[in-house]
């Protein structure tokens, strides 16, 4: 059965073989083939045996880690809608309502993003990299639920073209592509990305349905009336999949356990934000500053950002010491932006993007320490022999 399927695929791939007419399009076909089968490539140079891990497995692990938060996000979309309209509903109703909203966004994100990825792979003659599988799922997960689909598509196109391919493709980008997509939408269409009409499904069309995010409420000086458990479990308005700290933590556990996400960055971020939040609690000049440091961890996109965005290995710091510094600074900056710039209540996005830009600098200084250690060693031996 499997052999038969394999034979048929090989038959289908014949026109794309080297020297054939459609050779140029081979990367596009291979991308599908490698999803069915790990190819029969053998080692040519270097080590003759190889570890079972590959980039596809790494990326799929991230997707698995995202799924709990995504499922909760879909449910929460329906939940936020139905508690406002007052209809009675079951889990399934809420889930279906959410699916109806969110699955098209995911389809658009993957459709647009993968089309660009495939086009560049064919144009540049390299295989399609798996990185977009994660990016393409992340983008809808961090958008407000009522954002028009064409905006999702446009943000995706901007992110993939400008943030990734312009820098050379997967592995070369400076900024996290998913956050770039969100930042693009945030600055290009601010009315669709903030206020009290976007966070709850149908809020702009159905009267009486509205909802402001907690950070938005705080920024306008109104105290929040959600319990800590609601904030932690995620039964609050917000971007689709970032509301539930609980399910984000499940994802974090998967990432840390499999070693795919850096626990150094995550822990650094939490320490940085907690420390900063605690200092502001002591100061306590306004509602935002008085907002408990522990609550800062569980509202807004902080948890989601620190677990899934800050740990993107390409745009984060790459040295171990650098990861600590990077993580702590993301945490500190996130709270600083939240408190001092109420116009952009969602500080974590901007904090991570800013630190993405500084990550190479952090690494530079960490590596430079190693370089000067080597230089010093040379000088000391010269001194001894002289």
Which residues are at the interface with another protein (CB under 8 A)? 2, 6, 34-58, 60-61, 64, 127, 129-131, 169-172, 257-260, 262, 313-314, 316, 318-320, 323, 363, 367, 370-371, 373-375, 377-378, 381
CA dihedral of 85, 141, 227, 279, whole degrees rounded to 10: -140
Smallest gap from Cβ 183 to another protein, in A, equals 22
3-class SS letters over 338-368: HHHCCCCCCHHHHHHHHHHHHHHHHHHHHHH
Give the distance, in angstroms, between the CA of residue 133 and the centroid of all CA atoms in the same chain. 11
Q: For residues 5 and 92, which CB has a smaller minimum distance to another protein in the complex?
A: 5
Smallest gap from Cβ 64 to another protein, in A, equals 7
Are 98 and 78 spatial neighbours (Cβ–Cβ below 8 Å)? yes
Q: For residues 62 and 224, which CB has a smaller minimum distance to another protein in the complex?
A: 62
Whole-angstrom distance, CA of residue 287 vs CA of residue 319: 38
Q: In angstroms, how far is the first alpha carbon of the chain from the final one?
A: 74
Smallest gap from Cβ 34 to another protein, in A, equals 6
Backbone angles phi, psi at 238, to 5 degrees: 170, -175
Q: For residues 290 and 320, which CB has a smaller minimum distance to another protein in the complex?
A: 320
Smallest gap from Cβ 375 to another protein, in A, equals 8
The token duo for 371 is 């370089």
Cα separations in angstroms, 192 against 196, 217, 374: 10, 17, 53
* Number of residues that make up the chain: 386
Q: For residues 40 and 205, which CB has a smaller minimum distance to another protein in the complex?
A: 40
Smallest gap from Cβ 311 to another protein, in A, equals 10
Smallest gap from Cβ 46 to another protein, in A, equals 4
Q: Name the DSSP letter for residue 23.
A: G
Q: Name the DSSP letter for residue 239.
A: S
Whole-angstrom distance, CA of residue 236 vs CA of residue 282: 27
Smallest gap from Cβ 236 to another protein, in A, equals 31
Whole-angstrom distance, CA of residue 385 vs CA of residue 155: 62
Whole-angstrom distance, CA of residue 207 vs CA of residue 227: 26
Q: Name the DSSP letter for residue 313.
A: T
Q: For residues 281 and 318, which CB has a smaller minimum distance to another protein in the complex?
A: 318
Q: For residues 21 and 48, which CB has a smaller minimum distance to another protein in the complex?
A: 48
Q: For residues 24 and 377, which CB has a smaller minimum distance to another protein in the complex?
A: 377
Q: For residues 34 and 281, which CB has a smaller minimum distance to another protein in the complex?
A: 34
Smallest gap from Cβ 298 to another protein, in A, equals 27
Whole-angstrom distance, CA of residue 231 vs CA of residue 120: 42
Smallest gap from Cβ 352 to another protein, in A, equals 16
DSSP string, 262-287: -HHHHHHHHHHHHHHHHHHHHH--SH
Smallest gap from Cβ 41 to another protein, in A, equals 4
3-class SS letters over 133-163: HHHHHHHHHCCCCCCCHHHHHHHHHHHHHHH
Q: For residues 242 and 312, which CB has a smaller minimum distance to another protein in the complex?
A: 312
Are 262 and 308 spatial neighbours (Cβ–Cβ below 8 Å)? no
Q: For residues 119 and 371, which CB has a smaller minimum distance to another protein in the complex?
A: 371
């Amino acid at each position: 059965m499997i052999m038969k399927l394999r034979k048929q695929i090989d038959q289908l791939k014949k026109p794309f073989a080297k020297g054939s007419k459609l050779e140029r399009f081979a990367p596009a076909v291979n991308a599908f083939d490698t999803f069915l089968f790990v190819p029969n490539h053998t080692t040519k140079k270097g080590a003759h045996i190889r570890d079972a891990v590959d980039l596809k497995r790494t990326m799929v692990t991230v997707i698995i880690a995202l799924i709990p938060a995504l499922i909760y996000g879909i449910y929460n979309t329906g939940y936020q809608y139905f508690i406002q309209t007052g209809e009675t509903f079951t889990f399934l109703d809420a889930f279906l309502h959410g699916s109806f909203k969110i699955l098209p966004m995911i389809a658009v994100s993957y459709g647009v993003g993968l089309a660009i990825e495939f086009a560049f792979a064919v144009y540049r003659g390299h295989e399609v990299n798996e990185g977009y599988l994660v990016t393409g799922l992340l983008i809808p997960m961090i958008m407000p639920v009522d954002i028009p689909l064409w905006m999702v598509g446009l943000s995706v196109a901007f992110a993939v073209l400008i943030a990734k391919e312009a820098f050379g493709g997967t592995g070369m980008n400076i900024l996290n592509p998913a956050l770039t997509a969100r930042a693009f939408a945030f600055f290009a269409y601010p009315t669709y990305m903030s206020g009290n009409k976007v966070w709850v499904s149908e809020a702009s069309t159905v009267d009486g349905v509205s909802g402001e995010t907690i950070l938005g409420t705080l920024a306008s000086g109104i105290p929040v009336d959600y319990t800590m458990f609601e904030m932690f479990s995620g039964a609050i308005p917000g971007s689709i999949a970032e509301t539930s700290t609980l399910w984000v933590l499940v994802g974090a556990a998967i990432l840390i356990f499999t070693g795919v996400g850096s626990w150094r960055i995550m822990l650094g971020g939490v320490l940085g934000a907690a420390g900063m939040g605690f200092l502001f609690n002591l100061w306590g000049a306004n509602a935002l500053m008085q907002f408990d440091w522990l609550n800062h961890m569980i509202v807004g996109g902080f948890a989601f950002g620190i677990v899934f965005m800050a740990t993107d290995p390409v745009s984060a710091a790459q040295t171990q010491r650098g990861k600590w510094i990077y993580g702590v600074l993301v945490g500190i900056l996130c709270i600083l932006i939240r408190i001092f710039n109420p116009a952009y209540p969602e500080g974590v996005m901007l904090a991570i993007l800013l630190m993405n830009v500084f990550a190479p600098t952090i690494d530079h200084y960490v590596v430079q320490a190693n370089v000067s250690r080597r230089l010093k060693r040379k000088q000391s031996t010269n001194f001894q022999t002289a």
